[in-house]
Amino acid sequence: MSTPKYRVVADRIRTRILSGALRPLDQLPTEHEMSEEFSVSRGTIRTALAELNAEGLIRSAQGSGSYVAAASPMTRYFSLSSFDDDMRAIGRTPSTEVLAADVLPAMPGNPLGVSTGTPLILLRRLRLADNRPMAVEERWIVERLCRGLLDDDLAHQSVHWLLTVKYGIPLVRIEHVVERQTVNDTDAGILNISPGSPVLTIERLTYTEDDAGSRSPAVWFRSARIDGQPNIERNSL
């Protein structure tokens, strides 16, 4: 079973948005232009755009077409900018400390929703700027997708790059939430801030897709960033 054409189109447009090739408020090509580019019907284009609209990546305006959604607390963190690039852009020196890296069996009620006992990679990292703790992040990754990940240099390499390029995992859909919360005791200790201090949390579930077009959870991510700091994480790659 091949991947539905509308998903192929949606994935290609999504990649352009997340890579920065299409910027916030850029107008997308017309349905006719995209129909010709992707060699599909205009109905297929409309279905693909509806999916991207539901994800919050684009907005449609009656009579004028579709546009990349304006940057917001959610879309900023959805971009593929890296922590290191963001820090260097504002004159800071980035670094990362690996706090935990292990393979553990999935527990009941795990955030990926996989079967109990499924091997999962747990990765916790501390992100710093000028040696100052800025954010603590946690990932749970389906281990069968990237066996060998724990042997990689997780303190100096982008996890996103490793997953998508080295291990060739197609990450095709993301569900994410950005909220202001009070820090829990564990993260407060790691970030060296008082328990109950405000933090910006990013929680994200990323899906992969197999050759038959079936999607399944691949990565669960959570980050707690010291609130009031510059936008340093985006996708915490």
How many residues in total does the chain contain? 237
Q: How far from the centroid of its chain's Cα atoms is residue 129's Cα?
A: 21
Same domain, 41 and 81: no
Same domain, 157 and 217: yes
Answer whether residue 233 is part of any domain.
no
The beta-strand segments (E) located in the chain are 58-61, 65-68, 94-105, 119-129, 132-142, 171-182, 198-209, 215-226
The mean pLDDT values, 10 residues at a time, for the chain of 237 residues are: 79 80 87 94 91 81 81 43 66 91 97 96 95 94 96 91 87 81 93 90 89 90 76 41
Instruction: State which of 70, 99, 121 marks the end of a domain.
Output: 70
Question: What pLDDT is stored for residue 120 in this prediction?
Answer: 98
Instruction: State which of 54, 70, 86 marks the end of a domain.
Output: 70
Same domain, 103 and 200: yes
Question: What pLDDT is stored for residue 76 in this prediction?
Answer: 41
Domain span at 136: 75-226
Same domain, 173 and 93: yes
Answer whether residue 237 is part of any domain.
no
Same domain, 65 and 83: no
Whether pTM exceeds 0.85: no
Question: What pLDDT is stored for residue 90 in this prediction?
Answer: 73
Question: What pLDDT is stored for residue 7 in this prediction?
Answer: 84
Number of domains in the chain: 2
Instruction: State which of 45, 70, 95 marks the end of a domain.
Output: 70
Same domain, 220 and 117: yes
Question: What pLDDT is stored for residue 85 in this prediction?
Answer: 67
Question: What pLDDT is stored for residue 234 in this prediction?
Answer: 40
End-to-end CA distance of the chain: 32
Separation between Cα atoms, residue 54 and residue 72, nearest integer Å: 15
Question: What pLDDT is stored for residue 36 in this prediction?
Answer: 94
